[in-house]
């Protein structure tokens, strides 16, 4: 499958475009993708500075050499690509602007791009593009700012998608939408089959740590201006201002000095760190600007799905158990491996597991004796935050209970899972787990509960015989929301049944309309449930 070409563009300079692109390239490579970065900002090249610490040598050639190859009559482009070492399972390569010596500026200024195109350079560039997309999953182009021949090549001719980086000021906002329309018009005039641009707006260098109110005001203003850029790709249920918050790179003074790659240092970033925002944007790029409803509902799971897209798990199932069940755990793992399920034991209490960015197993099984340990609860909560697998597949959490365990005393998010009984024969539990892993059958009760809740909410009448009925409705909606938050599916079913019963109330006389606040709460809850139902059917 051919890779995707994405141009990072900004109408003005100094907005952090190269910084954003370089760090996203590193993340994608570390996540297992094959990434090529191209520095097409020929008058002010800078990518080689960002990648200098991870390059074995300085660039000996680059983009301007492609043009000179063509002028010299080369039948095909030469290889001017350097490999960067950033770890992970993917690859990161750089096609620099050129060799940074005294002759660079003269050689760059000798190139007349318009005359090059008149001589057939477009066909030569198509050859380059075909090679790049055949060998890479993503080709990221750092484009020159403003309106120029070079910017036209990067925004009209080459890309499949655009990332437009801007800051919160009127100079940037005035043309951020118009420039993409010009690029669409320009590519319509070209003899190459390119669809209409899909554009990812990235608000950069927003200082929301000190001037929070002013930052919030500008962020809303920016969302209103760039709203047209979301039209052909953002899921309709996701508000533009919320999406732009996910696509905002904060200003952090520590990273404002020099050309730095914070994603190499902040391997497990917290929400207040710049790499957290960069991870989110990289995940949107990795998933083709798709599944944004999942991003709205669970950012960590969305990022994990992008991170794990190209990797095979070392294990099918990680078994977490207390010391009291150590012997039976080893027997269970032996039986699972005999059945072809790659299983291993979690070393409970080892904080190193929680610090890892990767997941050792696709599924998690808790063996509970009397009650889950604090470690098991932490482990399960972390797992559930990353429980959306590649292509939307659901990773599963299993709960196996000893005879000493009271199901009703489990935490809410564990209480309503489908439980297995440990018993005296681990081989039987192993067969049950094997069937569940291969059949994904544990999704059925989730789907049933969510479907019942959605049906009950849609069945609510706009009017009731008297106001007291809506008080009961409000109580049921609050209960359903709390049950959904805690994963208590049986409780969600109970509240849904209550709501359906309340909706059937009849009476004579005046009718009372649903309060506006309750209408909003019902709509928000229904939207959340619909997103989760879509995750099962997409």
What pLDDT does 463 receive? 86
- 312 vs 468, residue with greater confidence: 468
Angle at 228 between CA 223 and CA 229, to 5 degrees: 85
Distance from chain centroid for Cα 524: 22
> What pLDDT was estimated at residue 1?
61
CA proximity to 528, closest of 296, 301, 245, 300: 296
**Of 461, 194, 460, 424, the residue nearest 328 (C-alpha):** 424
- Three-state SS for 395-434 is CCEEEEECCCCCHHHCCHHHHCCCEEECCCCHHHHHHHHH
pTM over the 0.75 mark: no
Give the pLDDT mean for 191-214. 81
Q: Looking at domain 4-308, does it have CATH number 3.40.50.720? A: no
DSSP secondary structure string, 13-43?
A: SSSSHHHHHHHHHHHHHHTT-EEEEEEE-TT
Top-confidence residue, 283 or 113: 283
Quick one: three-class SS letters along 432-458? HHHHHHHHCCCHHHHHHHHHHHHHHHH
* Among 157-161, 226-230, 326-330, 506-510, the least confident range: 506-510
Within this chain, domains 4-308 and 315-438 share the same CATH topology:
yes
Residue with tokens 């914070």: 262
CB count, 10 Å around CB of 173? 18
Q: Which two tokens stand for residue 310?
A: 């190209």
| Crossing angle of helices 299-307 and 374-385, rounded to 10° | 70
Neighbours of 146 (CB within 10 A): 14
How many whole angstroms separate alpha carbon 8 and alpha carbon 176? Answer: 13
Pairing of strands 463-464, 512-513: antiparallel
Tokens at residue 180, please?
A: 């993409």
Which residue would you say has higher pLDDT here, 436 or 95? 95
Would you list the domain boundaries of the chain? 4-308, 315-438, 443-536
Contact by Cβ (8 Å): 537, 496: no
Mean pLDDT over residues 182-200, rounded?
74
pLDDT at 351: 53
Query: Residues 101-129: what's their mean pLDDT?
Result: 87
d(C-alpha 388, C-alpha 385), whole Å = 8
pLDDT, averaged across the chain:
84
Mention every residue, 6+ apart, whose C-beta is less than 8 A from residue 328.
Answer: 321, 367, 422, 426
Spell out where 215-307 has E strands.
248-250
Strand partners, 37: 94, 140
| pLDDT bucket at 528, cuts 50 / 70 / 90 | confident
Round to whole Å and give the CA distance between 7 and 440.
39
The 10 Å Cβ neighbour count of residue 377 is: 16
Write out the H or E segment, with its range, that includes residue 366. strand 361-368
Q: What is the pLDDT of residue 386?
A: 67
First-last CA distance in the chain: 21
Rounded to an integer, the average pLDDT of 91-97 is 95
Distance CA 132, CA 77 (A): 11
Report the distance separating Cα 107 and Cα 110, nearest Å.
5
- Which pLDDT tens digit goes with each residue over 438-487? 764 444 446 677 878 888 888 888 888 777 888 889 999 998 888 887 66
The domain 315-438 having CATH identifier 3.30.70.2860: the answer here is: no
319 phi/psi in degrees, rounded to 5: -105, 120
Query: For position 507, what pLDDT does the model report?
Result: 56
Residues 6+ apart with CB under 8 A from 304: 359, 385, 386, 388
Q: Summarize the confidence of residues 59-81 as an average pLDDT.
A: 87
Only one residue has tokens 């072809």, namely 340
- Residue 157 and residue 190 in contact, taking contact as beta carbons nearer than 8 Å: yes
Report, as an integer, the average pLDDT of 406-422.
Answer: 83
Q: pLDDT (tens digit, 9 = 90+) per residue, 391-411?
A: 445 678 899 999 889 888 888
Token reading at 507: 């009476």
Structure confidence at residue 533 (pLDDT): 67
The mean pLDDT of 353-363, rounded to a whole number, is: 66
Task: Please report, rounded to a whole number, the percentage of residues in the chain having pLDDT higher than 90.
Answer: 35
The residue written with tokens 């484009």 in the block is: 143
Region 125-147 average pLDDT: 89
Q: Which residues pair with 164 in a beta bridge?
A: 9, 201
Torsion of CA 20, 25, 28, 33, to 10 degrees: 160
């Amino acid at each position: 499958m051919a890779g995707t070409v994405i141009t990072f563009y900004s109408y003005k300079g100094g907005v952090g475009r190269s910084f954003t692109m370089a760090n996203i390239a590193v993340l994608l490579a570390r996540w297992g993708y094959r990434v090529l970065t191209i520095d097409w900002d020929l008058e002010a090249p800078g990518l080689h500075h960002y990648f200098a610490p991870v390059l074995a040598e300085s660039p000996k050639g680059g983009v301007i050499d492609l043009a000179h190859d063509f002028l010299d009559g080369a039948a095909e482009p030469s290889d001017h690509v350097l490999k960067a070492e950033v770890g992970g399972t993917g690859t990161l390569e750089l096609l620099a602007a050129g060799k940074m010596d005294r002759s660079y500026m003269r050689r760059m200024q000798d190139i007349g791009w318009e005359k090059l195109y008149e001589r057939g350079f477009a066909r030569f560039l198509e050859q380059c593009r075909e090679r790049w997309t055949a060998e890479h999953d993503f080709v990221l182009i750092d484009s020159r700012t403003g309106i120029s021949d070079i910017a036209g090549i990067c925004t009209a001719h080459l890309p499949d998608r655009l990332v437009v980086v801007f800051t919160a000021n009127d100079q940037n906002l005035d043309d951020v939408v118009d420039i993409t329309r010009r690029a669409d018009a320009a590519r319509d005039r070209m003899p190459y089959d390119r669809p209409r641009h899909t554009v990812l707006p990235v608000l950069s260098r927003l200082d929301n740590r000190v001037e929070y109110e002013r930052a919030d005001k500008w962020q809303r203003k920016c969302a209103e201006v760039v709203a047209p850029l979301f039209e052909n790709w953002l899921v309709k249920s996701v508000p533009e201002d919320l999406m732009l918050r996910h696509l905002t790179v904060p200003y952090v003074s520590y990273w404002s000095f020099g050309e730095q790659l914070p994603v190499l240092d902040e391997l497990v970033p917290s929400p207040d760190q710049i790499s957290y925002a960069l991870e989110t944007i990289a995940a949107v790029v990795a998933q083709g600007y798709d599944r944004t409803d999942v991003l709205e509902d669970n950012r960590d799971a969305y990022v994990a799905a992008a991170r794990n897209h190209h990797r095979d798990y070392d294990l099918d199932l990680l078994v977490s158990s207390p010391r009291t069940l150590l012997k039976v755990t080893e027997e269970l793992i032996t039986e699972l491996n005999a059945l072809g399920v790659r299983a291993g034991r979690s070393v409970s209490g080892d904080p190193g597991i929680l610090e890892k960015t990767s997941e050792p197993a696709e599924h998690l099984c808790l063996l509970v004796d009397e009650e889950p340990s604090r470690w098991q609860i932490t482990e399960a909560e972390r797992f559930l935050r990353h429980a959306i697998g590649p292509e939307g597949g659901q990773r599963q959490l299993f709960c196996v209970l000893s005879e000493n365990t009271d199901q009703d005393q489990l935490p809410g998010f564990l209480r309503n899972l489908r439980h297995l009984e440990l018993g005296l024969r681990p081989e039987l539990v192993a067969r049950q787990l094997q069937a569940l892993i291969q059949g994904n059958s544990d999704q059925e009760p989730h789907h049933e509960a969510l479907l019942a809740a959605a049906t009950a909410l849609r069945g609510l009448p706009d009017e009731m015989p008297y106001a007291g009925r809506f008080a009961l409705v409000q109580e049921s909606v609050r209960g359903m929301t709390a049950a959904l938050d805690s994963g208590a599916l049986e409780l969600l079913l109970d509240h849904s049944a209550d709501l359906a019963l309340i909706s059937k109330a009849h009476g004579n006389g005046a009718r009372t309309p649903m309060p506006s606040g309750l209408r909003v709460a019902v709509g928000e809850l229904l939207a959340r449930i619909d997103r989760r139902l879509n995750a099962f059917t997409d």
